[in-house]
Structure 1
Amino acid sequence: MDAVSYSGFRKNLKNYMQQVNEDAEALMVTSQSTQEDIVVMSKRDYDAMQETLRILSNRPLMEKIRRGEEQYHHNQTHQHPLLDDDGDPDD
């Protein structure tokens, strides 16, 4: 993760915003007090991180995911035809 001082960030805000969005890498903005340091990330990455946290904190869902992984690793999977919008098999 790159780091920039608060004054440097403020002077080049637009460029840093573009960089964070294009590179998909967070940026640490530092100040004289480390308690005031912040991390800037794109909204897309923030939303993805929040969704990951929601999934990881959902025990029933994580149990289903783990059960699916176990089935996959033990070749206990079945292929099904895709369904179209009406619920009928897609031909």
Structure 2
Amino acid sequence: MEAVTYSNFRQGLKSYLKQVNQDSEPLIVTSQNSDDNIVVISKNDYDEMMETMRMVSNPYLMEKIRKGDKQVKKSQFKTDH
């Protein structure tokens, strides 16, 4: 993950945002006070992260995923052909 100072980020905002979107790599924007540092990610990556969090926090869905994973490991599944 690349890091850039706030000043450089501000000066090259357009190119940094383009880079984050094209590379799907987060960018750390640093400040003199480390409590003010931020991470910039693409909207698509943010949406995917939020979807993953929703899935992981859903006990019913996670149980179905675990059950399916066990079936795949034991080769107890059907394929559509």
Q: Shorter-normalised TM-score: what interval?
A: over 0.9
Structure 2 residue ranges without an equivalent (≥5): none
Structure 1 residue ranges without an equivalent (≥5): 82-91
Alpha-carbon separation, structure 2, partners of 1:79 and 1:14: 47
Q: How does 1:27-42 map to 2 (within 5 A)?
A: 27-42=27-42
| TM-score relative to the length of structure 2 | 0.96
Which structure has the bigger radius of gyration?
Answer: 1
Could you say which residue in structure 2 is the equivalent of 1:3? 3
Q: How many aligned positions are there? A: 81
Identity of aligned residues (%): 53
Aligned alpha-carbon RMSD (Å): 0.8
Deviation per residue, 1:37-73 (Å, 9 max, x gap) = 0000000000000001100111110000000010111
Using CA pairs below 8 Å that are at least 6 residues apart, which structure has the higher relative contact order? 2
User: Secondary structure of the residue that 1:39 maps to in structure 2?
Assistant: strand
Matched, 1:15 2:15: yes
